[in-house]
Amino acid sequence: MMEQLPALMIAVPLFGAFTTPLLKKRYNAAAVWALIITAATLGLSLLLVQEVLNKGILVYVFGANKPTLVLPSGYKVPIRIIFEIDGIGAFMALSATLMSFVGALYSYSHVKLETGLEKYYALMLLLEVGILGMVLTGDLFNLFVFLEIAGIAGSALVGFRNYRGEASEAGIKYLIVSAVASLMVLFSIGLLYGEYGNLNIAYLSRQISFNTVDMIALGLLFVSFAMKCGSVPMHYWVPDAYTEVPAGINPTLLVATYASLYALFRVSFSLFGAITWSMARVGWIMSVLGVLTMFIGVTMALIQKDVKRLMSYHAISQTGYMLLGVGVGLTVLNDPAKLAAFGRDAMAGGIFHIINHIIYKSLLLMTAGALFYVTGTRNLNEMGGLARKMPYTTVAFIVGAAAISGLPPFNGFASKFLIYETSYQLNPVFTVFAMVTSVLTLASFVKVFASAFLGPPLEKYEGVKEVPKPMVVAMLILAALCILFGLFPNVVLDKLVYPAVDALLKLAQYQSWGGLA
């Protein structure tokens, strides 16, 4: 079974997605089925991580044993679809499966009163398939196909509550933004295929000559994935989509956003990793976009009155930290002394922040979903005094808010600590912006806490009570992870994050399909 693991990672949720619509109008059964499928996929991803950590890069060739076809002349060329899973791919796959499982658990109660839930769960599993395909594949066209699957499933889920005009509008916006970005990704892939006659990332990265056409392809891939991961000033779709999507989908949609960030890193470090003269420029662009993203995101969050919209702007802001961390590493990629001194740790901070952010932002968006579930509004001006009525949600919110603000000993602090220290060594101005952003983040969550949870109990919420158990359990799982990742950052860094960083840095290993070439 182990050798089929990469294919099973796609096959299991895809099977779930195609079978869920058979449970039409049996919503409880559809929810339980989705829960079983996401749990099974989570188990598979844990095995996958173990395999990658033990054996190094995993290569899975569809329809053959070897990645290359050897021609009579001795020329070796990859012609089949190949999954190439290294540390960063396994890291992202684990994040995707964990969040899909938690999202399915939360959804069990959260969307119970909606209709068409067999479609909801089918689309949720399809979104998981899209993300997993993006992070596991070693083929550019395959990447595009899975990007499309994730984009279409994601936009249908954003517009799921189509009885709300805003949800339909947000769904259409997400669909068009995704389609434009995907179109440009396809155009770039076409440029590279036209030049080199191949679609395999490892093979292309060995052939690429960095001429003007290649640089145009790099630019288009960079800007398209930057828009898909919500980088400022191309972030406008994020608050629309995250606010309207049901809270149970928020964790998976967050990972879908970071699958695009993963693609951006894969393009920068693997596909174009051999380039020497331009990567410092790309690194500086990434770092500056990161600082702009974090600052504009947080200042926009501060003035929001809609609790989910406020948290969506924070999602943008936190993406800035990841861009900054990895951008610093990319800037010094071709300077071995600086890379060893702080570049590798900067990348570790950025990548560690991905999983930390996925955990605490999913938690916070779920608490926002819980507030909506109980009060029927997302307007903070209409809330107050809910801490006594919703003690578990309150505790979960406090943990999530402390984690996102970078308060020790929660997980957000550990990754921000690495980003502050390392970005300072590239340019202290970056660190100043990063720290001010953290202060403003804390201020923003103090506002949410004060207006929604504190204050005297309001008469209109006299009869409200805590959200149902599945929602509480999903939130508490994530709160526990925030604490555990914060108390034992070294364990996560050593087992998951540094292998992911090294996978991006060891280009020769990726280019040779882990030594199979």
Partner 1 sequence: MNFTLLSPSGFWDPVLWLIFLILFGIIGYIIYSRGNPSYKPNTEQVKPYLSGNAEPSKEKITVRAGDIYWGFIEAMNGYYDALKRMHTGDLRDYILWYLGIGAIILFILVGGV
Sites of contact with partner 1 (CB under 8 A) = 172-173, 176-177, 180-181, 184, 212, 215-216, 218-220, 222-224, 226-227, 233-234, 236-237, 240, 278, 281-282, 285, 296, 299-300, 302-303, 305, 341-342, 345, 380-381, 383-385, 408-409, 413-414, 417-418, 421-422, 425, 443, 446-448, 450-452, 455-459, 486-491, 493
Q: What DSSP string describes 165-226?
A: HHHHHHHHHHHHHHHHHHHHHHHHHHHHHHHHS--BHHHHHHH----HHHHHHHHHHHHHHH
CB-based contact 396:363 (threshold 8 Å): yes
Residue 85 in tokens: 């899973």
Counting runs of H as helices and runs of E as strands, what totals does the chain give?
A: 21, 4
Phi-psi group of 380: left, alpha or beta (phi > 0 → left; psi -120 to 50 → alpha; rest → beta): alpha
By the 10 Å C-beta count (0-12 exposed, 13-18 middle, 19+ buried), 468 is classed as: middle
Could you tell me the smallest distance in angstroms from the CB atom of residue 348 to partner 1?
Answer: 10
Task: Pick the closer one to partner 1 by CB: 279 or 366.
Answer: 279
Radius of gyration in angstroms for the set of CA atoms belonging to the chain, rounded to a whole number:
22
Could you tell me the smallest distance in angstroms from the CB atom of residue 299 to partner 1?
Answer: 7
Cα-Cα-Cα-Cα dihedral sign, residues 286, 345, 275, 269:
negative
The residues pairing with 60 across neighbouring beta strands, listed in sequence order, are 83
What's the rounded Cα separation, in Å, for the pair 342 and 421? 8
Could you tell me the smallest distance in angstroms from the CB atom of residue 310 to partner 1?
Answer: 9
Could you tell me the smallest distance in angstroms from the CB atom of residue 19 to partner 1?
Answer: 35
Could you tell me the smallest distance in angstroms from the CB atom of residue 255 to partner 1?
Answer: 22
Task: Pick the closer one to partner 1 by CB: 110 or 389.
Answer: 389
Residue 139 has φ and ψ, to the nearest 5°, of: -125, 130
CB-based contact 353:321 (threshold 8 Å): yes
Task: Pick the closer one to partner 1 by CB: 38 or 293.
Answer: 293
Task: Pick the closer one to partner 1 by CB: 224 or 318.
Answer: 224
What's the rounded Cα separation, in Å, for the pair 428 and 495? 30
Residue 420 in tokens: 């502050």
- Tell me whether the omega of the peptide bond preceding residue 13 falls within 30 degrees of 0, making it cis: no
Strand blocks (E) in 335-412: none
Task: Pick the closer one to partner 1 by CB: 31 or 493.
Answer: 493
Please tell me whether residue 423 adopts helix, strand or coil conformation: helix
Could you tell me the smallest distance in angstroms from the CB atom of residue 312 to partner 1?
Answer: 12
The residues pairing with 200 across neighbouring beta strands, listed in sequence order, are 139
Task: Pick the closer one to partner 1 by CB: 105 or 220.
Answer: 220
Could you tell me the smallest distance in angstroms from the CB atom of residue 132 to partner 1?
Answer: 26
Could you tell me the smallest distance in angstroms from the CB atom of residue 315 to partner 1?
Answer: 15
**CA end-to-end distance (rounded Å), the chain:** 24
Could you tell me the smallest distance in angstroms from the CB atom of residue 112 to partner 1?
Answer: 28
Task: Pick the closer one to partner 1 by CB: 59 or 355.
Answer: 355
Task: Pick the closer one to partner 1 by CB: 110 or 173.
Answer: 173
Residue 511 in tokens: 């280019």
Task: Pick the closer one to partner 1 by CB: 9 or 323.
Answer: 323
Residue 402 has φ and ψ, to the nearest 5°, of: -65, -40
Task: Pick the closer one to partner 1 by CB: 17 or 371.
Answer: 371
Could you tell me the smallest distance in angstroms from the CB atom of residue 428 to partner 1?
Answer: 13
